[in-house]
């Protein structure tokens, strides 16, 4: 059995869970709290970061078994090349480049300017011990993240005015990447969907896919999402 070490509100873990669902790749989920620096987990991934995919698998190029893949980029690329299900990277090299550009925007820029500021402060610090930096949220940091969120949503709105999906006219890995990041902020109730109709409609299309259902079932102790979080029609 293949195991995915993840954290429920880690956007990179969520991206991999969505891709696994789209590829119909069954895994056992093991929740990992990276800030605890658990020794057994560090033996698997010395960086101590999630996601990590471990277990049985066959690499189509060399027949390798006992796969150990650390990080969302290696896992997503490996899944695209080695599993069944719909292809999520276009055949055209230019189209693939645009998909990876949009993915990088969310995984790097959006995460550093928005997600990390909001989710880390409002969620992660709640579960961290004092020696790990836990405590109440720094609201100045949260406000900065919320300000940046509006700028990023404006850019998404612009893309969706000119395309059916974020990276073009086909559903790609870029859409699942962006949806994973936004789903964390949807859980914390920080997206005012009524102000972003095109993004809401795009997100609803993704949210209604079977691969999204496990994410909608996530519940962190003492931190319930808003009611619309599980509503496919908002």
Q: State the chain's mean pLDDT as an integer.
A: 94
234, pLDDT greater than 80 = no
What's the pLDDT tens digit per position in 195-226?
999 999 999 999 999 999 999 999 999 999 99
Average the pLDDT over 90-119 and give the result. Answer: 98
Domain 93-219 has CATH 3.40.190.10: no
Q: Please report, for residues 61, 96, 110, 156, 193, the alpha-carbon distance to residue 153 in angstroms, rounded to integers and kept in the order given.
A: 40, 23, 10, 5, 10
Instruction: Count CB-CB contacts under 10 A for residue 206.
Output: 19
Q: Classify domain 3-82 at the CATH class level.
A: alpha beta
Q: Where are the domains of the chain?
A: 3-82, 93-219
Predicted local distance difference test score (pLDDT) of residue 63 = 57
Predicted local distance difference test score (pLDDT) of residue 233 = 81
What's the pLDDT tens digit per position in 44-91?
999 999 999 998 765 655 655 688 999 999 999 999 998 877 899 999
CA separation for the pair 107, 145 (Å, rounded): 15
Facing residues of 29 across strands? 4
Q: Please report, for residues 45, 123, 134, 143, the alpha-carbon distance to residue 223 in angstroms, rounded to integers and kept in the order given.
A: 28, 8, 16, 20
172, pLDDT greater than 90 = yes
CA separation for the pair 176, 89 (Å, rounded): 12
Predicted local distance difference test score (pLDDT) of residue 1 = 83
- The arrangement of strands across the sheet holding 3-6 comes to 28-31, 3-6, 52-55, 67-70
CA separation for the pair 25, 86 (Å, rounded): 12
Position with higher pLDDT, 95 vs 67: 95
52-61, 74-83, 94-103, 150-159: range with lowest mean pLDDT: 52-61
User: What is the pTM for the complete model shown?
Assistant: 0.95
- In the DSSP assignment, the letter for residue 225 is P
Predicted local distance difference test score (pLDDT) of residue 151 = 98
CA separation for the pair 133, 36 (Å, rounded): 11
């Amino acid at each position: 059995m293949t195991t995915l070490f993840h954290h429920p509100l880690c956007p990179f873990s969520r991206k991999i869970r969505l891709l696994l669902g789209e590829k119909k790749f069954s895994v056992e989920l093991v929740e990992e709290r990276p800030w605890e620096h658990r020794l057994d987990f560090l033996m698997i991934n010395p960086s101590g970061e999630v996601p990590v995919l471990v277990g049985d698998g066959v690499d189509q190029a060399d027949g390798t078994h006992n796969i150990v893949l650390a990080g969302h980029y290696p896992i997503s690329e490996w899944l695209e090349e080695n599993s069944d299900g719909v292809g999520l990277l276009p055949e055209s090299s230019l189209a693939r480049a645009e998909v990876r550009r949009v993915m990088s925007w969310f995984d790097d820029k959006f995460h550093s300017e928005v997600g990390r500021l909001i989710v880390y402060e409002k969620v992660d610090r709640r579960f961290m011990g004092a020696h790990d930096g836990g405590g109440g949220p720094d609201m100045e940091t949260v406000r900065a993240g919320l300000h940046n969120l509006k700028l990023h949503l404006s850019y998404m709105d612009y893309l969706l005015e000119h395309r059916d999906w974020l990276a073009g006219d086909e559903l790609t890995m870029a859409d699942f990447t962006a949806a994973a990041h936004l789903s964390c902020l949807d859980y914390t109730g920080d997206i005012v969907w009524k102000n972003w109709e095109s993004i809401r409609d795009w997100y609803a299309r993704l949210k209604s896919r079977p691969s999204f259902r496990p994410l909608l079932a996530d519940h962190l102790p003492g931190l319930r999402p808003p009611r619309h979080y599980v509503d496919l029609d908002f």
